[in-house]
Structure 1
Amino acid sequence: MRSIAVLTGVSVLASSVAAHATWQELWVNGEDKAKTCVREPQSNSPITDVTSNDIRCNASPKAASTTCAVAAGDTVTIEMHQHDARTGEEAIGGAHYGPVMAYLTKVDDAATADGSTPWFKVFQDAWRKNPSGSSGSDDFWGTKDLNTNGGKMDFAIPKDLAPGDYLLRAEAIALHSAGGLNGAQPYVSCYQISVSGSGTLAPEGVSFPGAYKPTDPGLLFNMYTAVSSYTAPGPAVIAEGTELEAGSDGAKVSAGASAAPSATSKASTSTAAPSTTSSAATSIAQNIQTPTSSAVAAPSTTAAAEAPSSATSAPAASGTIGCEKLPEKFNVQQLIAFLKN
């Protein structure tokens, strides 16, 4: 199998290579609702201004065709992909590591609501330290779990949630460029749902915009240095919500799973880190199988891995094409796949 090398500093392959993504589909108790109740974004680009109204449900999203019926306590699955396809590529590629979250806001009419009502966080899969890693990019992240799960994340609608119309806001935040102000990349979509039940739970919420500030430590963040802690932006998950430990088996559930994460208790802490060759924390370079004989090494790992000196500096560009990060070794087919993103 023939393979090629991309030299450090070569920019011919351009900024058009980008592993951007959108939340596109929804499942309810394993039933595929496809795109029927999503306000689908116009493009797969992130919302980089967290002070704009676009941070609610994306920039001028398309209207949803319907509002999906959900019972309190049901398992919903949000699904993300880079393009308008559900197979054949990572859900969000290019070393776009960061937290995955979901919010709800109660509205009078899901079809017409503008997202200005208070939002409360019902799901989060953020970060966990990888004791074998040397920088934050080696750590366990929600988006790594998302890729392991084929673009899907399951969680339960709180069983005591008051009935009515809601917007469900799915979000993944890529932090690969977050070393500089406004470098974080939130990817957001809203789903229209109508919740049935007899509960009375009505949590207090936060406003979008307003819940995030560009200087929040979860948004202004350098993952290319050793990381001792990470706090996702926004409020804490409500007590009745679901919080998963990044890289844990609890995150590895798929649409139609027989058991969803409990909506009334947080995931327990694992006492041992998953194997770096089999867990959701495995890096792109580890996930891609490389040829054993004809592969040519990518740019010097010493230069490529050199981290910025402060949390406000951008990550080194060596070994990077656009916002994709190539594996240490790769073949022509893998490069073509990257270029299609």
Structure 2
Amino acid sequence: MQENEATPEDPNADGQVSDAVAGNWVDTRAPEWTRPYLRLSRADRPIGTWLLLIPCWWGLALAMLHDQSPRWEDAWIALGCAAGAWLMRGAGCTWNDITDRDFDGAVERTRSRPIPSGQVTVRQAVAWMGLQALIAFCILLTFNIQAIGLGVLSLVPVLIYPFAKRFTWWPQVFLGLAFNWGALLAWTAHTGRIEAPAVVLYMAGIAWTLFYDTIYAHQDTEDDALIGIKSTARLFGEKTGPWLRRFLMGTVGLMGLAVIFALLDEASILAMVVALAGPWAMGWHMAWQLRGLDIHDSAKLIQLFRANRDTGLLPLLFFIAALFL
């Protein structure tokens, strides 16, 4: 057997990250020299890109509903947000791994990441982070000046987030601030200004992030307790279920308000009803997750976390349908 071939005793001998999607394209098809960098960007775990991108598409779709004036340039905003989400998620995750390299080495699930496992150096990771951010900035420059300003401002929560777990039990709030910024940015890229519906939609996204990332954080509660990392999962413990129900209600209620504020003046009653069905459907999908929740089953936790791609896409489908009414 070749030296770098994975064995049952050492499933990460080829450098795979322990919580990566099985058979992902990075581990099976990407050139070998690129794999550590793509793993830094979480390209082997695409759910994070979806969770960053979906609020962008919410904001864009709701903005088009708000002024009833979809334009061809909106297609570029949607594509630009997709490329930017992949790049900035990669840059953000690289920054997270740089700042958390000592913590990651002490946690079972994360010690196989590229920096603690020795696949890349910190200097290489910094260079890779800068390259991703630079390309993303070039894409941002194709948007209007207001959106460009918001894009630059988004770096503040991105830079703070990795340190939040050191000083607050609510680091998921900081993740929500960073991950849902696209709702504000895409709305502004279409309309040229921030308005109340975008802000309320942003708040709905933060509540959703508290929901799904609390589920995700339960995978690491034992290791986190040993090394002093704070999280909502540790804070809530066995009372996680009731807290997740509160986040569910906050997500649905705030998104419903965003829809009403956005469509009240211009859209038809039928379009309003169809658009409001979006947060309703999202709420049912979140309720389904709650029914299957077991905070002591890591396999179930990661399955539910990844299901949030579909959770977030559900209201988008209804927003798009409402555009044709």
The TM-score, its normalising length taken from structure 2, stands at: 0.24
> Going by fraction, where is strand more abundant, 1 or 2?
1
Structure with bigger RCO (C-alpha 8 Å, 6+ apart): 1
Larger helix proportion of the pair: 2
What TM-score results when the alignment is normalised by the length of structure 1?
0.24
